[in-house]
Amino acid sequence: MSGSLKRALVLLANGAEEMEAVISIDVMRRAEIEVTVAGVDASDKIMCSRGVCIIPDVDLQTAIDAAPYDAVVMPGGLKGATTLAESDGVKKLLEMQIQHTNLIGAICAAPIALKSHNIKPGSNITSHPSLKDKLEGYIYSEARVVKDNKLITSRGPGTSFEFALELVEMLKGKEVRDKISGPMVLP
């Protein structure tokens, strides 16, 4: 499993939480997962929630044209997550992930996009604590990272490494997860 090429798409919109985005991107790339960053509402640069600018690799339509991916990952940040939740293109990508039984990851505020696009209702999920009441129809957990089949959710910036490592383990296996954790001096 660890030798096969895996592709992940990280969806970014203005207002995204940069720690959740960059940590997910970085950790997956350390695991030799081919990561593409797609700008949902801009293709030249994304202004994140704390003022960090990220230049996406592709625009949303180009990302859709290259789908499906082994994983589609959605960082939080309320403004960015709201854009993901309102995007027909994001809905199309998430539906393709389900059709191909591929992985979907959502952290912090991004689970509102799952709810908005009716993705896997009834699944076990978590989110930033402030959004718990907006996720009716799901089985809510206070755990830091929740995995339900091919859906991984997490709480926020402080759980970004755990979330990213779970993505790596699901895509490449525990051996790869363990191999990249040590040099990052993670527990």
Give the ranges where 70-173 is alpha helix by DSSP (H): 78-86, 88-99, 111-116, 160-172
Orientation angle between helical segments 174-181 and 160-172, nearest 10 degrees = 140
How does residue 132 score in pLDDT terms, banded at 50, 70 and 90? Answer: very high
- Whether residue 2 is predicted with pLDDT greater than 50 in this model: the reply is no
pLDDT value at position 165? Answer: 98
From the list 48, 53, 117, 128, the catalytic residue is: 128
**Residues paired with 125 in a beta bridge:** 140
Closest residue by Cα to residue 106 from 155, 44, 35: 155
Taking only the tens place, the pLDDT of each residue in 48-71 is: 999 999 999 999 999 999 999 999
From the list 48, 53, 100, 108, the catalytic residue is: 108
CATH class of 7-178: alpha beta
Q: Is 117 a residue of the active site?
A: no
pTM equals 0.97
- Whether residue 42 is predicted with pLDDT greater than 80 in this model: the reply is no
